[in-house]
Amino acid sequence: MSRSESQQALLQAVVDSFQNTPDARLREIIQALARHLHQFVAEVHLSHEEWQKGIEFLTAVGKACSGNRQEFMLLSDVLGISSAVDVANDSHAAATPGTVLGPYYVPDSPQRSFGASLIDTDDGGQQLRVTGTVSSVGGAPIANAVVDIWSCASNGLYPAQDPAQSPTNLRALMHTDALGRFDFIVLRPTNYSIPMDGPVGELMRAAARSPMRAAHVHLIISAAGYQGVTTHLFDSECKYLASDSVFSTRKSLIRKFESAADGRLSAVFDVRLAPPQAGPALDQPDI
């Protein structure tokens, strides 16, 4: 039996071993995963030493995860997998596109009121007021939608990375008003490097890739009866928009920050949510 025949026989045996998986979706996913992994091994002719290195790398990624850091999420981000999942699940062309969650999302942010400042640790950076409306893809405003916000300080660090910041700095949960509006104040986001002190950083250096993220504010918007979205507001003046290290930049999410009369900057970021039973993802990439 030739090498290719042996590889095919082995793959078929692995795929067949999952044929009786009761959950049809799990069966579909794991069989497809097996096919692609075996194809990868054959394509690059993976050596025993390289396979062992890969196991060691993934083990190190797992050990780098903690309550404040998700190294596996970071790995997914820099490989473009997180963004690929976002694109695959953009189910309506008129809805706000999804972007990566990132490794520093922390649940249970403090509840804040309409128009609140999220700046608990003021580092003297320029302030940015973000206003917008959450609506359906048809334009109907959505009252009481939940807006979950987190952003970095002027030094490019999140509270989980910087003990000098309050743990709640630049984080909030708020609800839209009766007209679907939200309004909050943060520090102007800055571009920053993804964490380079772990195994993903080692991979980025080995690949001679830039670790820089385009300046952004994170938002998760959810509402009863709609598909929620995890997304970003990007600064149009950031020089890393075209080379964002996690491939999350979308043209429709970029805004110009305008000067306001109160000395702050301002940006309008309207969000549209798709209905829960929207059709299959449309082949209309927004990049």
Residue 155, domain CATH: 2.60.130.10
pLDDT digits (tens, 9 = 90+) for 134-189: 999 999 999 999 999 999 999 999 998 999 999 999 999 999 999 999 999 999 99
Q: Is residue 56 part of a domain?
A: no
List, in order, residues 6 or more apart from 96 with CB less than 8 Å away: 221, 229, 231, 252, 253, 271, 272, 273
Mark whether 29 and 148 lie in a shared domain.
no
Mark whether 90 and 173 lie in a shared domain.
yes
Mark whether 41 and 76 lie in a shared domain.
no
Stated pTM of the model: 0.86
First and final C-alpha spacing in the chain: 47
Q: Which domain holds residue 11?
A: 3-46
Mark whether 98 and 145 lie in a shared domain.
yes
pLDDT above 90 covers what percent of the chain? Answer: 87
Rounded to the nearest integer, the mean pLDDT of the chain is: 94
Mark whether 123 and 29 lie in a shared domain.
no
Mark whether 40 and 75 lie in a shared domain.
no
> Could you give the angle at the alpha carbon of 169 between the alpha carbons of 167 and 171, nearest 5°?
100
The predicted model gives 269-275 an average pLDDT of 96
Q: Is residue 85 part of a domain?
A: yes
The predicted model gives 184-211 an average pLDDT of 97
Q: Is the pLDDT of residue 11 over 50?
A: yes
Mark whether 35 and 116 lie in a shared domain.
no
Backbone angles phi, psi at 150, to 5 degrees: -150, 150
Q: How many structural domains is the chain composed of? A: 2
pLDDT digits (tens, 9 = 90+) for 207-234: 999 999 999 999 999 999 999 999 999 9
Mark whether 233 and 117 lie in a shared domain.
yes
The predicted model gives 113-133 an average pLDDT of 97
pLDDT digits (tens, 9 = 90+) for 27-68: 999 999 999 999 999 999 999 999 999 999 999 999 999 887
